[in-house]
Amino acid sequence: MKAIHFDRLGGPEVMYPAEAPRPELKPSTVLVRNRAIAVNFADTFFTRGEYIVRPVFPDTPGMEAAGVVEAVAPDVADFKPGMRVAYIGMGAYAEFTLIRRSRVIPLPDFMDFEQGAALPIAMLTAWHMLRTLHAVRAGETVLVHSAAGAVGIAAVRIAKAYGARVIGTVSSADKADFARRHGADETIDYATQDFAAETMRLTDNRGVDLILDAVGAPTFAAGLRCLAPFGHSILYGRAGGAPGPIDPMRLFERSLTVSGFVLPQIYNNREVMRRGLDDCFRLIREGKLTVPIGGRFPLAEAAAAHRYLLERRSVGKLMLTP
Ligand SMILES: NC(=O)c1ccc[n+]([C@@H]2O[C@H](COP(=O)([O-])OP(=O)(O)OC[C@H]3O[C@@H](n4cnc5c(N)ncnc54)[C@H](OP(=O)(O)O)[C@@H]3O)[C@@H](O)[C@H]2O)c1
C-alpha cells in the first residue's frame, strides 16, 4: 500500500511517499481503508519528535481520518467490513490504517468522509473545551484564538450554536473574512493589534468569559488582561511556543480560572466521550456544525500540506486524499 514515511526527525522535508506492507490485524483492532485523511497541527510536532507519542522509525504521521472498514479482528463484534467510520489513531497518512476498536467511531449517513475526518480531533476538541471543561451559554462572550484554523472554526460554530458572542483572533485579513463568514461576530488581527486591549474595547471594558488558546507564548499571559471577573482561559496547544509561568496572584485578583485540555483523556472516558459525540452529531444534523475544508492535497504531497500549515496559509481543515 501507499504510505508516507519518515525515518529521521525534522520538518516537512523528512516525509516521503513509500510502499509499505498492509498492516495485519491484531486482537481488538479494525483495519480501515482511508478515504479522507485530516492534517493536524500536531502532525508537525510528531515528525519533529515533539509530540506526546514518539515516532518509531520508519514511522507514518497522521492521527485522524475517515474511511471504510476493510477487516476486523475475530474479537471485534460491533464493526463489520464495509461500514463507514472515522477514527483517532496513529499512522493515518496511508491507504490503510490499523486502529484499536475503542478509537473507531461509526459515521452517520449525513456525514461525508471529509467531515468524518474532521470529527475525532478537531470537532471533539472544540466541543469538550466548550461543554465539558466549561459550560458555554447564551450571554457569554468567548475569545477564540487562531479562529480560522480547524479547531478554531469548530469552536466558533459550537459557541455560536450555544448562543455565545464570539470574538476570533487571526493573523490576516483573509482569515478574518473566513472566520466572520463562518460565524465569528468580531475578529481581531493579533499580528498587528494588541488583542487584549482590542477585546476590552469590544466588550466595553468588561472582558470575555472564556478564552480558547492554542497559540501559547504570544497570547496566554496577555489573555489574562482581557478576562472578565470569573473568566476562564483554557490552554490546549502551543503553535506559537510554550507559554511561560503565570503568577497565581493574577488569578486571585479577579477570581480567574486557567485550565489545560488534552483530548486523548476524553477517549478514555466512555460516558463523556458519548456525550460529546451525541451532541456533535445533533449539531451537524441541524446544520450548525461543519468544519470547512480549506485545502486538499494528494497523500503523496503530505509535505506540501505541512508547509502550507506551518506558513500559516491554511484556513479550516486540510485533507489528504489517498
Ligand atoms: N489539546 C488537544 O487535545 C488538541 C487537539 C487538537 C488540536 N490542538 C492544538 O490546537 C491548535 C490548532 O490545531 P489545528 O490542527 O486545528 O491547526 P490550525 O488551527 O488549523 O493551524 C494552526 C494555527 O495556529 C496559528 N498559529 C499561531 N502561531 C503560529 C505559528 N508560530 N506557526 C504556525 N501557526 C501559528 C495559525 O493561525 P493564525 O495564522 O490565524 O495565527 C495556524 O493557522 C494546535 O496548536 C494544536 O496543537 C490541541
d(CA 160, CA 156): 6
What is the model's pLDDT at position 127? 98
In terms of domains, do 128 and 239 share one?
yes
Residue 283 domain flag: no
Residue 91 domain flag: yes
In terms of domains, do 126 and 260 share one?
yes
Cα–Cα distances (Å) from 163 to 183, 271, 287, in that order, read: 11, 25, 15
Torsion of CA 192, 130, 228, 230, to 10 degrees: -150
In terms of domains, do 229 and 302 share one?
no
Question: Ligand 1 centre and the CA of 101: distance in Å?
Answer: 28
Q: Answer with the one of 226, 246, 264 that is the final residue of a domain.
A: 264
Residue nearest to atom 8 of ligand 1 (CA): 237
> What amino acid occupies position 183?
G
Closest of 271, 317, 5, 299 to residue 154, by C-alpha? 317
Residue 165 domain flag: yes
In terms of domains, do 165 and 47 share one?
no
Which residue has cell 476498536?
Answer: 101
Nearest ligand 1 atom, CA 39: 15
Q: Which long-range contacts (CB under 8 A, 24 or more apart) does 248-254 make?
A: 250/224, 251/224, 254/227, 254/228, 254/229, 254/230
Q: Answer with the one of 217, 245, 264 that is the final residue of a domain.
A: 264
Give the CATH number of the domain where residue 35 resides.
3.90.180.10
Residue nearest to atom 19 of ligand 1 (CA): 149
In terms of domains, do 17 and 111 share one?
yes
Question: Ligand 1 centre and the CA of 40: distance in Å?
Answer: 8
Residue 89 domain flag: yes
Question: Ligand 1 centre and the CA of 263: distance in Å?
Answer: 14
3-state secondary structure the chain: CEEEEECCCCCHHHCEEEECCCCCCCCCEEEEEEEEEEECHHHHHHHCCCCCCCCCCCECCCCEEEEEEEEECCCCCCCCCCCEEEEECCCCCECEEEEEHHHEEECCCCCCHHHHHCHHHHHHHHHHHHHHHCCCCCCCEEEECCCCEHHHHHHHHHHHHCCCEEEEEECCHHHHHHHHHCCCCEEEECCCCCHHHHHHHHCCCCCEEEEEECCCCCCHHHHHHHEEEEEEEEECCCCCCCCCCCCCHHHHCCCCEEEECCCHHHHCCHHHHHHHHHHHHHHHHCCCCCCCEEEEEEHHHHHHHHHHHHCCCCCEEEEEEC
Question: Ligand 1 centre and the CA of 177: distance in Å?
Answer: 18
Choosing from 53, 121, 132, 151 the residue with most ligand 1 atoms within 8 A of its CB, the one to mutate for a pocket test is: 151
Q: How many separate domains does the chain show?
A: 2
What is the model's pLDDT at position 94? 98
Nearest ligand 1 atom, CA 317: 20
How does pLDDT run along the chain (322 residues), one tens digit per residue?
A: 999 999 999 999 999 999 999 999 999 999 999 999 999 999 999 999 999 999 999 999 999 999 999 999 999 999 999 999 999 999 999 999 999 999 999 999 999 999 999 999 999 999 999 999 999 999 999 999 999 999 999 999 999 999 999 999 999 999 999 999 999 999 999 999 999 999 999 999 999 999 999 999 999 999 999 999 999 999 999 999 999 999 999 999 899 999 999 999 899 999 999 999 999 999 999 999 999 999 999 999 999 999 999 999 999 999 999 9
d(CA 322, CA 315): 21
Residue nearest to atom 40 of ligand 1 (CA): 170
Choosing from 41, 182, 220, 318 the residue with most ligand 1 atoms within 8 A of its CB, the one to mutate for a pocket test is: 41
In terms of domains, do 246 and 232 share one?
yes
Question: Ligand 1 centre and the CA of 197: distance in Å?
Answer: 22
Closest of 62, 96, 98, 129 to residue 318, by C-alpha? 62
Nearest ligand 1 atom, CA 122: 6
> What amino acid occupies position 128?
H
Which residue has cell 485530516?
Answer: 38
Domain span holding position 249: 122-264
Question: Ligand 1 centre and the CA of 24: distance in Å?
Answer: 33
Cα–Cα distances (Å) from 79 to 72, 87, 101, 116, 282, in that order, read: 7, 13, 8, 16, 22
Burial of residue 121 (CB within 10 Å: 0-12, 13-18, 19+) is buried
pTM given for the model: 0.98
Question: Ligand 1 centre and the CA of 126: distance in Å?
Answer: 12
Question: Ligand 1 centre and the CA of 166: distance in Å?
Answer: 18
Beta carbons of 209 and 141 less than 8 angstroms apart: yes
Question: Ligand 1 centre and the CA of 262: distance in Å?
Answer: 14
Residue 269 domain flag: no
In terms of domains, do 64 and 177 share one?
no
What is the model's pLDDT at position 98? 98
In terms of domains, do 74 and 106 share one?
yes
What is the model's pLDDT at position 265? 87
Residue 281 domain flag: no
Give the CATH number of the domain where residue 177 resides.
3.40.50.720
Nearest ligand 1 atom, CA 125: 5
Ligand 1 lining (C-beta closer than 6 Å): 40-42, 121-122, 125, 146, 148-152, 170-171, 175, 214-215, 236-237, 239-240, 261-263, 309-310, 312, 314
In the chain the first and final C-alpha atoms are separated, in Å, by 10
Residue 275 domain flag: no
Digit-coded pLDDT (tens) for 203-251 = 999 999 999 999 999 999 999 999 999 999 999 999 999 999 999 999 9
In terms of domains, do 129 and 251 share one?
yes
Q: Provide the β-strand partners of residue 304.
A: none
In terms of domains, do 88 and 182 share one?
no
> What amino acid occupies position 7?
D
